[in-house]
Chain A
Amino acid sequence: MELIVYAPFAASALLAVSGPRLAARMPPATGTRLLLTAGLACALTSLLSLALLAATLIGRLPLVAAVGAWSGDRLRHADPVSPLTAKTAILTLATIAIALVWTAARRARALHRARHASARLGPRTGRLAVLDQPAIEAFAVPAGRGQQGRIVVSTGMLRTLNAEERQVLLAHETAHLDHRHHRHRTLAALITAADPLLAPLPAAIHHLTERWADEDAAATVTDRSLTARALARAALAARHDERPSPRSAVLCFGRSDVPGRVRALLAGTPARRPVIVAVLTAALTACLVSAAEAGNDTAHLFGRARHGYHARPLGITAATTHEARHLITVLDHRTDGSR
């Protein structure tokens, strides 16, 4: 197996460093989709690479070699992957499996709670649900099937903004619900669980979906500076409202990006960036091709190891009967062709 098996890890690291910055330079809807697609490709190919590295060691186990009908010894000699690397890959895969299950379970539970809260409101309440509280609070609650999503806003928030700014707020939260941004964020969390090198992805997707909703709101009210003003006013009013615990500071990613969002709104409609999109798509394709190449290499390695396979009576199982029979025929022909 050549160096190419490590290419997805390099691609992941590269995407982690440059992806969020590139995605921020295009319309946020495009940026979100592109970054998630690239992240998914990197995560899947990295998993494949880890599996290939792990396979070189697992393939040497006598039982596995017998079932697969290849020579464990020959695999050991032909394989450039050190046992330490392979062991690390196995350990990493196990950790990733745990992280994936944990992330998926946590997200499912949070979504279930949101849907439950939404269902408790009943069909009588409209989309806007008002909390009679002075706290500055506004958020969108995603809906389950056959339910409507809710926009929960405190009276504190409603009284902070004027009528036009409230329209911005409602349009912003509506955009989150219409585009189902919680799905993008969940996918980002799962991608990072599968590929820890992509750790910056969830924060980037969080920011991009906020920007997406801002752009939608600006289009709805047809006024970018009004949208920026609503955002700035709400953020300033909320500044003393929340004393974040250290834990929520870690988990709540959108913390300091309000100024960035305001500036982006004031900077004008984001340009489409066909060149960046093309370059990223090309990089993505290269990544997938290299993964296929690494898969091929491994197949060849095991193919070569198969030639060194000698069936031993104990090693013959139902799965290898066919192989064994074939080998016996070959050996018979070699001796003198008579039974």
Chain B
Amino acid sequence: MNHANGDGAVPRRPPGMLEDEVLAVLWALGRPVTPAEVQLELGDRLAYTTVMSTLSRLHRKNLVTRTPTARGGYAYAPTMDEAEHTARAMTELLDRRRDRAGTLARFVSSLPPEDEALLQRLLHAEGGD
């Protein structure tokens, strides 16, 4: 019934998530980065060749741009057009909180102040960086 609840039976990385993760790294860093930097940011969880081929796939889809670096090879950056395109497509949804409550699944929602203190404590107790 609930196959995905901590039985360890779930594959570590569902298909399609790899591209999302690499793209997320590029956006988070916000500057052109080399595949090695991406690999480092991901905490060496992926092989260099995996990062390379993922970046190539994203480039083919025009979701990232690449520029040659001085040392040879390429530096990759996310395509800004794509984010503007996303913003335009999502404007209506972002403006309608009513719909978001009903249809969209959000990661977190805002907190009352008393919960804020509690979360701070939990975060520190967990030794978060």
Contacts and interface: CB of A to CB of B under 8 A. Distances in A.
Interface of A: 27-30, 33, 106-107, 109-111, 113-114, 116-118, 120-122, 124-133, 136-142, 151-153, 155, 157-159, 161-164, 166-167, 169-176, 178, 181-182, 185-186, 189, 209-210, 212-213, 215-216, 218-222, 224-225, 228-229, 231-236, 238-239, 241-242, 244-245, 247-248, 251-256, 258-259, 262-263, 266, 269-270
A128 B23 contact: yes
B101 A253 contact: yes
Nearest to B62: A124
Given A27-B5, A222-B8, A106 B102 contact: yes
A244 B86 CA distance: 24
Contacts of B16: 126-127
Contact of B105 (A139, A244, A247): A139
B20 A132 contact: no
A109 B14 CA distance: 31
Interface in B80-105: 80, 82-90, 92-94, 96-105
25 contacts: A27-B5, A107-B103, A113-B92, A113-B103, A120-B89, A124-B61, A126-B16, A130-B83, A132-B27, A132-B83, A132-B87, A139-B107, A141-B93, A163-B25, A170-B20, A174-B17, A178-B14, A215-B4, A215-B5, A219-B8, A220-B13, A222-B12, A235-B109, A252-B109, A266-B126
A122 B62 CA distance: 13
Interface of B: 1-2, 4-8, 10, 12-14, 16-17, 19-21, 23-25, 27-28, 30, 41-43, 58, 61-63, 78, 80, 82-90, 92-94, 96-112, 115-116, 118-120, 122-123, 126, 128-129
Given A126-B19, A170-B21, A219-B8, A139 B104 contact: yes
A259 B119 contact: yes
A103 B85 CA distance: 31
A232 B5 contact: no
Contacts of A142: 103-104
Tell me what chain A mostly uses at the interface: helix, strand, loop, or mixed: helix
B107 A157 contact: yes
Contacts of B101: 248, 251-253
Given A131-B87, A169-B107, A126 B23 contact: yes
A170 B22 CA distance: 11
Given A28-B5, A219-B6, 4 more contacts: A151-B20, A220-B14, A222-B8, A241-B110
Contacts, number: 264
Contacts of A151: 20
Contact of A138 (B4, B41, B43, B106): B106
B12 A242 contact: no
A154 B23 CA distance: 12
A306 B14 CA distance: 64
Contacts of A155: 27-28, 30, 83
A270 B24 contact: no
- In this complex, which of A171, A176, A270 has the most chain B Cβ atoms within 10 angstroms of its Cβ? A171
Contact of A125 (B80, B82, B126): B82
A128 B83 CA distance: 11
Given A163-B25, A228-B126, A110 B5 contact: no
Nearest to A155: B27
A114 to B, nearest CB: 5
- In this complex, which of B5, B105, B129 has the most chain A Cβ atoms within 10 angstroms of its Cβ? B105
Contacts of B41: 163
A228 B120 CA distance: 12
B36 to A, nearest CB: 14
